[in-house]
Every structure is written in C-alpha cells, then in structure tokens.
Structure 1
Amino acid sequence: MDSSASPLRNAPTVSLASLPPELLEQCINLALPPLSFKTFRRRYSILLNFSRVNRTWAELAQRALQRHVLLYTKDGARSFQAVKQQPGASGMVTKSLRVKEGMPDRGEPLSVSQMEALVQALPGMRTLQLAWEYGAAPRLDLGALLEKAQALEELVIDYYRFVPPTLASKALHLPSLRRLVISFPQDPCDVTSVLPAAQLPNLNSLVLVFGCDLPQERHPCLAAALVSHAPRLRSFTISFVNDCPPFALPLQVWRNFVVLQELSLDHNDDLTILPHLSSSLVVLRIRPPFNE
C-alpha cells in the first residue's frame, strides 16, 4: 500500500492559532494535572507558559488560573480579591477555592472575617477546601462563613475548630452540598455539635476522620447526628487514627444506612455490623493503621 496516498498525509495542516477558543481551552485543560494541594505549583507554571504564547492564550490561561484557586496568606487573599475587582473579571468564574493556612514560613494567615468576605464574593463556587497546618486554629462559624455559598457541592475542612451552634450567628444550611469531609478536628466534640444542627438535604457522601478519642459523653450526640443523615448517604467513612479501639456506632445507626454503597472503616473495627446494613455494599474499604 502506498503510504503517500493516505488521506491523513495529504490533509491540509491547521495552525494552532486558527483553532477556536473552545478547542484551545480544551487543550489547556488537558495539559493541567489533576487538582490537589500538591499540584498547584505545577498548574501555575504550566499556565504561566501558556500565557506567553499570545493574547488569546493569555486570556484563556487567566480564566483557568481563576477557575481553581489556592491561597496561603492574608496578602494572597488581598491580591486575589483585587484581581476579581478588575474590569472584565466578572466573566471569570471561580469554581473551587482551597485555603491552606498556619504555615509559619508562608506569612500571616487569613482572618476569619476576611475568609467570610472571600467566600461571599464567590457565589458560584462549587468546592471549598480549608486546611490548617500548625498550631491552634481559629474557630469557624460555619453558618456565617457559608451563608452565601448556596451553590457549594463539596466542603472539606481539615484541623479547624468550629463555633458551637448555640453560639453561632447562623445555622449551617447548604442545600446543594453533596460531599462533606471533616478530618482531624482539633476538638472532636465540635463535630458532634455541628452535624446535628446542619441542614444538608442533598448530602450523599460523609467522611469523618478523628485524630483523637471522642469523649464518652459525646457518643450519643454523634450517633444521633448520623441517624439523621444516614438515610441519604451513599458513601460513608469513619476513622479514628490512633491505636485505641474506635467508637462503635450502635446498630440502630447502621440500620439507617438504607442506600449506602461505599463504606470505609478502620482495620480494628468490628465488621459484625455488616449484616445489619439495610443496603448492599458495592465497595468496602478497610483503612490500615495510621502512621504519622
């Protein structure tokens, strides 16, 4: 067969610059690594190179840069807010925001009021991840913080403390939230006060990871909170990272998981609860011992 007669060989070449912006945007998105705290530096580097191609590429790279944002410090938040206030920035939607604070070498962390103002300025945000690294974290009034974030679908909070609902200015109400992750709360009792009062009608995935034991007197509060959320959960994780026997949920809690498909438990959990589930699991994960 004569390869020179191949239609691909004889097809006219198309200049990259002549492609429509929609295809160029697809090229940019395919070149970027998956979203995580660890990949943002690489994402920024790639987008910076794209912005040097020409004006069209620079505009598309800027859109991608503002679509998913990572902030470390108060100064970084101010810079981001200033960019959002520039002419033409209204068309650049921020879909996800990640805030990683408490690192001494990074600079001054965001104040709670600044974080509230930032979240309220991003009404179209779908994902919010908050992580505190070292030392005592500030208390978050989740109701006030997320009052305007009604489009939020995923909320991940690591190492923070929460204002108890009795002292909070507003109740936590997120009608669109589908996934909630609370890991290593500095005070595990905070979880047992936040969850019962939270109004999360579309929540279908819940991850709770405790870094220390939950006091005995708070066990009924956690169980009661899970009873109210369990009927809607398709994915559930509960983990205690220390070597002590984890808190065992009462059987009546497990019976309320009527649509559960994915379950993650610790290696030392009592698996005799499995026959008491009201649904058929598709995935069962056993988490290995925690290694600091």
Structure 2
Amino acid sequence: MVACKKKDEVAPKTAGKFGLTQMHANQRVRKQVIDGVTYVPYETAKNQRTTEVANFDLGNLKASKSFYFILSNNGDRAITDVTIESNNPQFEIFPKSIDKLAGASEDGIVPLLELGVIHGNRLNGIGFQSLLPMGDNTVEVTIKGKTQGENGEETVELKAEVKLFAQVMDIKLFKANNEVDLNKVSYSMPVVEQLNGLGRIRGYSVGNSIVTIENSGNVNITLEIQPTNTDEGDPIITHTLSVGAKLELGVMSKNKVFALEGGGATTDYKRIAIGDDGKGYFAVSNIF
C-alpha cells in the first residue's frame, strides 16, 4: 500500500530571515511611503544576500552620497522590532527601526534603506561636514529583529560589511622646502569678477623662496597657474600632478592664482576653497 499525502497538508512555516540587496542608481521602481519609511515592490529585491554576513563594495567615492538597499524577509513568518545600526557616524542609516517586516508570502512591499555616506559636504549639499579617511573605508551595518521559530521567539540578525574607497584632492605647498600651513592665510585677495562663486580667495606669501607643490591626495590633479590683475598678459600655465608627485615652480613672479581640478573628488574646505565649478582656488604671492 502506498501512503498518500493529504491534500490539505501544509508545509511548516519557516522563521523570518533577512535578505539584503543593493538598489542601483539607474534602477527605477515604484515607491510608497508608510509611516516615514519608503517601500518598494517585493519583486524588486533580486539576488538577495541571505547569509548571516553580507558584503558590499561601493567602489570609489568622490563626495558625500546616499546608497540604497532593499531589506526583505525571505522566511514565512514576520520579523518584528527591527533595528538597523551603523558602527560609523559618517555612515548614516535610515530608517533606524521598522515595526514589522512581513514574511515573503504575506506582503507585496519591502522597505528601502538609505545609507548616507558623509565625505565632504553635508548630504543636502549645504556646508562642509567632514572627510572620510583617504583610501579604504569599511562600515558594519547590523540589522536585528525578532521572529517565531520552532521553539518560540528567537532573534534574527544580518551583518552587512560595506566598503568603499574615499577619494580626496589635496596638496602641500612648500617655500624653500618648508611646508606652508594652508590653515594660516597670509592675505585675502578680492576677485573683481567673482571667480566661480568666490568673492575672495585665500592667499599665501612666499617671498622670493623657491615654491614647490606636492599632490598629497589620492587622485590626479590638473593645476592651472593663472595671472591676476598685477601681472596681466602672462599666460595660463597648466600642469598635471600624479598622486605623490612634486612640482618645483621656482620663484613666484608677483601674484598668481592656483586652480586645482581633481576629477570631482572632494577636498578639505578649511584648506582649499572650492568654486562653483568644483575647482579649488588659492593665491600665492611674493609681493604681499
């Protein structure tokens, strides 16, 4: 005699289990906001990371930016009291909590997590906040909640390791082999016609010393040396500084404006003023 499976027999429900996948910038999906949390359709969560540890590489980061991740529940039972935490304050996660994450078969929408990475300007673009350490950075995002397992309530957790490479445009300025402190301005030079949004630029007196500039950041820099109204008629001189390269400029003639372009990489605004064109500006003079 062959045993037959009862038609009404139902497979046991599995405990809730987090899934996490990155949502790419060019991915367009329908969104809805419920109680301040943004949700997207469940089918958007493709290739979920369902292991207890997930790894994401965000690549090169030139400036502050938000990245988005879809949080799903790959189990049958709901996950409640969900908390999301970052172990680095420059990686801001939102939302930080979700009341309930329905099981895979219960709901057609899943929450969208925003990971805002602070690197230079604030995320809203207004005002300088802080820079990430130049180069490799890693943050751990921990997602915890409660679900019903075989033996009652149990904790479910997913740890996501997120890494990126922070790019920074930076230079060192030397006069006679002595580094000039870019935080200590010698003079402030007004710009007759506003220079890309800058009414004045910071200036540094170097006297008749030999001036050297070094690329101390981790991106290549295009350097323009521009004449001012004290030396009209002089040509604009352009140099390319590879990472770590030093360029000896000799003795400065009168007053020069230096313009730095690092491919969009941010810089320390306390050291180098940035114009609307994304270039860094400062002046060097042997007459002030």
Settle same-fold status: TM greater than 0.5.
no
The structure whose residues are more often strand, as a share, is: 2
Larger radius of gyration: 2
Scaled by the length of structure 1, what TM-score is found?
A: 0.23
The structure whose residues are more often helix, as a share, is: 1
Scaled by the length of structure 2, what TM-score is found?
A: 0.23
